Amino acid sequence: MALRMWASSTANALRISCASKTPAFALSRCFSSGTQLISFPLPIIIFCKLMVLDGLKYASSHEWVKHEGSVATVGITDHAQDHLGEVVFVELPETGASVKQGGGFGVVESVKATSDVNSPISGEVIEVNSKLTQTPGLVNSSPYEEGWLIKVKPSSPSDLESLMDPQAYTKFCEEENAAH
């Protein structure tokens, strides 16, 4: 934990993308993904980790879903926010709108680009994160917590079966990064 906090602050000082802030309870259950080892001439080693949380399911388009009873919360992953850059605008659907698995439901704007956000599951939007209107950067700083995008009443629980678990998503990200 201490090494991670030191690495995080050092990485920030050197402006290297690093894991977003996550609550203490999640840290103990994190899987690190896409770990890069950067060696310097001096005896300093920086670990650059992107967070993949246990308990969530993941889409190949880099959204996550947390299913709790009759509500599923959706957001974009730490991998996605890191690659997108500083998010300056988020456009979300109205409550009551229908979302379809794999279909777009909104956009985020970063670095002069709009990027589609796709829903990992089908259902009805029951809540949107209104904080993102004033503070879109929550998507970067807290992609799995305060930066959630929408809450959905799932229409097809079997949608979750086609999504990746944390280990599979971790491997997916590593393969995607390696391909480029």
CB 119 to other proteins: min, Å: 12
Q: Considering the rule CB under 8 A, would residue 89 count as an interface residue with other proteins? A: yes
**Binding to other proteins, residues 59-78 (CB under 8 A):** 61
Q: Which of 83, 124, 126, 160 binds other proteins (CB under 8 A)?
A: 83
**Binding to other proteins, residues 118-147 (CB under 8 A):** 118
Give φ, ψ of 96 to 5 degrees: 95, -15
Q: Show the beta-strand stretches assigned E in the chain.
A: 31-39, 45-52, 57-58, 63-68, 71-76, 87-91, 98-99, 104-110, 113-118, 123-128, 150-154
Q: By C-beta, is 54 or 86 nearer to other proteins?
A: 86
Question: Counting beta carbons within 10 angstroms of the beta carbon of residue 119, is it exposed (0 to 12), middle (13 to 18) or buried (19 or more)?
Answer: buried
Q: Considering the rule CB under 8 A, would residue 115 count as an interface residue with other proteins? A: yes
Size of the site for other proteins (CB under 8 A): 21
Span from 40-48, 82-90, 138-146, 164-172 in contact with other proteins (CB under 8 A): 82-90
Residues in the chain: 180
CB 28 to other proteins: min, Å: 30
CB 152 to other proteins: min, Å: 19
**Binding to other proteins, residues 149-178 (CB under 8 A):** 176
CB 104 to other proteins: min, Å: 7
Shortest CA distance to 99 belongs to which of 114, 116, 79, 115?
116
Distance, in Å, from the CA atom of 81 to the CA atom of 149, rounded to the nearest integer, reads 13
Distance, in Å, from the CA atom of 22 to the CA atom of 47, rounded to the nearest integer, reads 17
Note the residues at the interface with other proteins (CB under 8 A): 61, 83-85, 88-89, 91, 102, 104, 107, 109-116, 118, 176, 180
